Structure 1
């Protein structure tokens, strides 16, 4: 199974980039992971949040095929423990989805068209984190999930 991690905007802070690269490198031993960074919108001061979400949705939906299993990283999504998230990933692998796509939207979240296309929504926490930090937290949890599935000693209960 291929996993795509799709984000609106680029990771800017060097320390976050370094952390993301660390876990992406580790994940190569377990799965094929593609990072896709969509360009942030320019000149957004003239746009309402709804208009921004609609424009971001156009970019997001162009990157998705009908066979993809789409998971939105959303504060209203299902919260998983690390072991339950590992079980979720394992189930997706068994179901042989062509591509599992995890998406982090822009600062205002997702347009309704993206919600309609999504298969699942996952929340990393009830707390709010910057979109930059969520990227690092997500790839670490994905790595943790694979080590749990393989019975490796990275995760401790």
Structure 2
């Protein structure tokens, strides 16, 4: 299985880069992992809805350049389905059984995802009703993918 994470913006903090590197290394045992960072747009303070939509559209165009036609796309959205770790693991495994060999997870920028990206999404998942920094969300997503593979393999994981 190939897992691609497309994310808006670069990681700046060393501790987040270290966490991403650690989970990327651990996931090497279970899947082929690719992380793609696309440039984010500067969002002015008190930006209008029109300006925010333009920013989401620009970031969305960058994201969609990397989305392959045959890939199964999962967007991270506050309004998406909330799964526990076992359900998330089953979701990934079911996709493999259904012949989906490439899953793309998309993490939007600080103001979310544009309409074109949302339309391309095959499934939306939410990790919480809370808002997390999108850089931290990358680490949380990687940890849950890793946990999901460990659950599917019947290996111990921290509950």
Find out whether 1:116 has 2:116 as its counterpart: no
In the other structure, the counterpart of 2:8 is 8
**Is the Cα contact below 8 Å between 1:44 and 1:52 reproduced in 2?**
yes
- Within a 5 Å distance, the mapping from 1:57-96 to structure 2 comes to 57-96=60-99
Count residues in correspondence: 155
TM superposition shift of 1:66: 1.7
How far apart in 2 are the matches of 1:34 and 1:72? 16
SS at match of 1:143: helix
RMSD: 1.4
How far apart in 2 are the matches of 1:44 and 1:84? 35
TM superposition shift of 1:97: 1.5
SS at match of 1:5: strand
Find out whether 1:33 has 2:40 as its counterpart: no
In the other structure, the counterpart of 2:150 is 147
CA displacement, residues 76-129 of structure 1 (integer Å, 9 cap, x when unaligned): 100100000000010011112241000001111111111111100001111111
Query: TM-score scaled by structure 1?
Result: 0.93
How far apart in 2 are the matches of 1:68 and 1:14? 31
- In the alignment, structure 2 segments of 5+ residues that lack a partner are none
**Is the Cα contact below 8 Å between 1:72 and 1:120 reproduced in 2?**
yes
The list of structure 1 runs, each at least 4 consecutive aligned residues, that deviate by more than 2 angstroms after superposition, is 43-47
